[in-house]
Structure 1
């Protein structure tokens, strides 16, 4: 176990890697399903948007799995940054289908610009900023990006079918609820539990995208 990641035992890291290893397989499958169905039933907006969403899932789960599976301290330090950066792109990628397919309005384009700007900002901060408060501002930015949706929630929900709305809200609740376990690093297997919440959130958003941006 490295000093870099002393909070996790080898067994915990095995579960941390395994849970998001499952996510890699699932996200590749979700990407394939969404893009294929968009090509058959949707349009160019759907194909591009679901590709971005699916790719962001693959990126995040791959970065997370590689980080937790790494044993070399130098490699782990670098992979940890990529793991955290990938979360920004997962959030931005998750917004994309809803903004560019379900809504595609001036308000949607504004939020699209803001969310991707925040993802890029988070990337630079993660690479160049540091210190004891890094974890807190990172989580704060994740949550701010995730719940930016409240500013257009009325218009978005009006554009979504009921099933998609339910899955979208459930996904947000799973992601947000999992943060409780993410912040409790001292509790054994808390990070693996966080990973399970992330998996559940991803599955919920997959169905939300499917029912609102593919079968429309």
Structure 2
């Protein structure tokens, strides 16, 4: 790994770390598309079909956009403008991936009166996060002459962005408490645990070798657990012996 950089700069991975960053998400593109197709095939009504499309698009987009960004960052380093736009897009997709991951639960499970509003609140949260990334993500570049105040603002923007991800990831989970049917809750908690644990590596570039690639693996594990829960409890046909 390379040396850790100031908080107002972006860490520059080594060649091996670049390769790992690409591979650890590229490997999940085809499985995510296949898994999304399975949910679509298992859909029995309009809402299940819509939810399968939303979730599948969010899941596949996460891995596809991340892979494209890391590939451009590795192989086309002279395309700084393109790389910056893809980096922003990569961060924006995370908001919509979170919203898409909740969509099947919010659309297909019975919710309490207040919790039903979360179906559209979560997309407003994703839109706000996207606007925030557009206007504030890495607006302050790393330069030797960077003013202390500008560096402080950059650190603040990155912290706010991280807090936004955490809030959006946990706040909609509160609606689970209003669901009469709580099947799948252990899987949702387990997936959330892996996301949270992975965030330790997300902020450890320059401290832990291959930290970002390890973060990618935790994301893949968390997404896999959540996919299993959606397939198992919302889409998989019940056996005759199973209680409804």
TM-score scaled by length of structure 1:
0.90
- Aligned-residue offset at 1:153: 2.8
Cα gap change, 1:48 to 1:150, in 2 (>3 Å) = closer
Query: What residue number does 1:69 align with?
Result: 71
TM-score scaled by length of structure 2:
0.80
Query: What residue number does 1:123 align with?
Result: 130
Gaps of 5+ in 2: 141-153, 239-244
Query: What residue number does 1:23 align with?
Result: 28
Query: What residue number does 1:107 align with?
Result: 114
Correspondence 1:147-158 to 2 at 5 A: 147-156=170-179, 158=180
Runs of 4+ in 1 over 4 A off after TM superposition: 3-6
Determine the C-alpha separation between the residues in 2 that align with 1:18 and 1:92: 25
Gaps of 5+ in 1: none
Pairwise CA RMSD? 2.0
Determine the C-alpha separation between the residues in 2 that align with 1:183 and 1:8: 13
- Checking the alignment, whether the CA contact within 8 Å between 1:102 and 1:160 is kept in structure 2 is no
2:230 aligns with one of 186, 209, 212: 209
- Aligned-residue offset at 1:5: 5.1
Larger Rg over CA atoms: 2
- Aligned-residue offset at 1:128: 1.2
1:160 maps to 2:182: yes
Report the structure, 1 or 2, having the larger helix content: 1
- Aligned-residue offset at 1:113: 1.8
Cα deviation, 1:105-147, whole Å, max 9, x if unaligned, reads 5334311222110100011111112341222111111110110
